[in-house]
């Protein structure tokens, strides 16, 4: 997919991510030339994630490169899950990992050396079950290989590690 993300570990949601800060970090010339910023934060630590706490420990706080808040990013969910696994925060081999997003809980699972996110919505599942356009929505999945995730670069930002993965 060739997306670039800045990953920011902030488990307790202590950082104030002003839009101009995110835009500066993602800037093509003065920053990390990223498509967006993904803050790794516990669901309970953010107002947007509190209602998802029982379903997902971790929340993907995704920001567009211009600093605006976004619901989620499909490619970002797999980068997020890969980071959680590499950091020892989750174990993907044990089954799907729930990830809180502003678009609800998404599940990422390992399939060989791939990470797979099912982005289908419940309403589309119902349509598929009814036979409308049978099979069109069934098993719609987006896949990214871990082999294409090249490198994590650690950088400092207010005493917190900042990293990015290229997928």
Least confident of 82-96, 102-116, 146-160: 146-160
- 100, 55 Cβ separation under 8 angstroms: yes
pLDDT band at residue 146 under the 50/70/90 scheme:
very low
Q: What is the pLDDT of residue 1?
A: 57
- Confidence category of residue 48, pLDDT binned at 50, 70, 90: very high
Give the pLDDT band (50/70/90) at residue 114: confident
Per-residue pLDDT at 61 exceeds 90: yes
Q: What is the overall mean pLDDT for the chain?
A: 75
Q: CA 97, CA 20: separation in Å to the nearest integer?
A: 31
128 or 80, greater pLDDT = 80
Residues 31, 26, 1: CA angle, nearest 5 degrees? 120
∠ CA 130-131-132, nearest 5°, is: 95
Per the structure block, which two tokens stand in for 78?
């797999």
Tens-place pLDDT, residues 71-107: 988 889 989 999 999 999 998 887 899 999 999 999 9
Strands (E), 122-167: 141-145, 155-157, 160-166
| pLDDT tens figures, 2-44 | 788 999 999 999 998 999 999 999 999 999 999 999 999 999 9
Residue 113 pLDDT exceeds 90: no
Q: Which two tokens stand for residue 54?
A: 């029982």
Strands (E), the chain: 4-9, 36-42, 58-64, 97-101, 104-111, 114-118, 141-145, 155-157, 160-166
């Amino acid at each position: 997919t060739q997306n670039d993300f800045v990953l920011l570990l902030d488990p307790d949601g202590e950082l104030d991510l002003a839009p101009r800060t995110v835009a500066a970090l993602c800037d093509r010339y003065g920053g990390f030339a990223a498509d967006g910023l993904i803050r790794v934060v516990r669901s309970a630590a953010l107002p947007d994630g509190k209602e998802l706490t029982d379903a997902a420990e971790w929340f993907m706080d995704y920001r567009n490169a211009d600093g605006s808040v976004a619901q989620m990013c499909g490619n970002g969910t797999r980068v997020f899950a890969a980071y959680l696994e590499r950091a020892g925060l989750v174990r993907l081999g044990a089954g799907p990992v729930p990830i809180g997003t502003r678009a609800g809980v998404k599940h990422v699972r390992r399939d060989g050396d791939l990470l797979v996110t099912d982005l289908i919505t419940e309403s589309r599942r119902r349509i598929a079950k009814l036979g409308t356009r049978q099979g069109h929505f069934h098993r719609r999945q987006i896949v990214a290989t871990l082999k294409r995730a090249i490198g994590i670069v650690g950088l400092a930002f207010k005493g917190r590690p900042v990293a990015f993965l290229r997928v």
